Structure 1
Amino acid sequence: MSSRSRPRDSIRLTGLTATGHHGVFDFEKREGQTFRVDVELTVDFRAAGRSDDLADTVSYVEIAELVQAGITGAPFDLIEALAEHLARAILRSDERIAATEVTVHKPQAPLPQSFQDVSVTARRDRADLLADPAAELAPNPAAGQTPGQDPAGAPGPEVAAVLALGSNLGESAVTLASAVTALEGTQRVRVLKQSPVARTSPVGGPADQPDFLNQVIEIATTLSPQELLRRTQAIEAEHHRARGAENGEIRWGPRTLDIDIISYGQARISSETLQVPHPRAAQRGFVLVPWTWMDPQAHLAGRPVAELARDTADFDTVQPLEHAP
């Protein structure tokens, strides 16, 4: 690349902070601690500077969500491995990123000496991906995580995620089965468990809409939270979901297919497009009850799902489809 065409611009995110469970010692993985990440992206945003259009530049919102998911996701022994994972994930997220510098801070590192911070910095560019596409480390196997595989052949940590599916328009049972099949056919996604289908009364929204059919599934994926969200919304669209009030959708109203991301590993994400764990899942019997059928020992935000389910207003209305009247 000539000096005239080489990207000279940068986007910086400083002090992205979240709780992670990375470290060599058992208590670090068990109790967790604060990690802080600084990211610099080398890009060319001349087009965005002229157009003032988000489509012409890299979304720092998505980069921030990717970093947060990395911090809160599957644990690594070393912050060097976390920095490597984040740098490569960032480069793979958008081909317009020519290079990135990722600094991982561990201010609560278990040192007996008085100190302010421990940090490592990874500097990677697209040539690093091409030269060594399989260099990314998987998390520590002792932490109970299984390495995944992306289409380019670069191993990354699989994350367990729970999805809730619902439908009350059209042939809903067929729609739910079709949606699960679509997820099974998605690269970098494995369907691990499926709950029985439940028939449930509508909660919120118009009172005169049909009953819903609901199902909960558990997947393992190497997709980022935003990639998984885009995939679930694409499956909704394939099943004729008209998302948003501008398309005539009524809040909590009837729909051909709804797929919610309930949890994504241990990640806590709060953005305009995605909140994980799902902010209303703990009050929804139509999510929690089928989840207990699939996994009686499941937990959500540190509480047993079975316990949460019993406290929901619609607990008694959720019935297995084959037993429903």
Structure 2
Amino acid sequence: MAYLTMKQMLESGVHFGHQTKRWNPKMKPYIFGARNGIYIIDLQQTVTLFKDAYDYIKSATSSGGNVLFVGTKKQAQNSIEEEAKRCDMFYINNRWVGGFLTNFQTVKKSIARLNELENADENDETTQMTKKELLMRERERARLDKYLGGVKEMKKLPSVLFVVDSKKETIAIKEAQRLGIKVVAVVDSNCDPDGIDFVIPGNDDAIRAVKLFSNSVANACLEGKAVHEEKLQAATDKAEEAKAEAARQAAAAKAAKIEAAKAAEAETVRKLKEGTAAEPKAEAKPKAEAAPKAEAKPKAEAKPKAEAKPKAEAKPKAEAAPKAEAKPKAEPAKKADATPAK
């Protein structure tokens, strides 16, 4: 982790501001004093504030975020492009395309068109075109590359905006504010620090100063990306270990299942062998297996006397006693009753 020191800033002229008549009163807290009609920026605050910005950029990139370098002024164009390419980030060093962030879905179509034109040149798809068509195509490609060449690989909105000269890049800062994108900006004595998340008070006109800040921000990006790659590698290793462990467990379970099946088969064979050896003795026991007396006892099963007792069931004398019910001799004694009729 390489923070900028006050000595480095002094050597690069970071402490020089603008003329006293060209200042923004909102920058007063960051100004140390004035000398020969030029404001001197308080580098003690610059060192502290830049540390905070450095840590934030590193944290953002370590989480997989990306940084968009923005510096369209002449003094910043080369430094912005070189340092952004060095840390494999995106940059805009020509005119800011209005709506680049707030209308990013439409801008992506222009980026896709640029990639299409470049791929067509690489694949020799222009061999059948006329000279005029080729000239028009090349002009279109050059124009798109001028404004979007630094962002042609960008698939999503950036996590952080690093801006050189917040006064010149007002539109870019306002778009980032609207979308909630953090802004890290080098703010000179003539700039407005309002709305900037990480203010870096310093000279934004000196080439050496711009180079110093851009280089340090690129280093923060590289450190953050290294941490992110370590996290990804650790996650990949962990996933591979988990996969290997699952494979080992599956193999062990399969082996155990096969072993259990073999054991069960061996046990079945053993039982069959034991049963085959014990079958002759068990079959040669006629008394135990087939006891004819116990199974069929003719006397016990069919007792004709006990089941059907003809005498007990049908007693003709007891059921119908004709003599007791009708006595023929007792009825004709009507003579005695009819005697007084004489």
Quickly name the TM-score band, shorter chain normalised.
under 0.3
Rg comparison, structure with higher value: 2
Q: Greater strand percent: which structure?
A: 1
Question: What's the TM-score once normalised by structure 2's chain length?
Answer: 0.23
Q: Greater helix percent: which structure?
A: 2
Question: What's the TM-score once normalised by structure 1's chain length?
Answer: 0.24
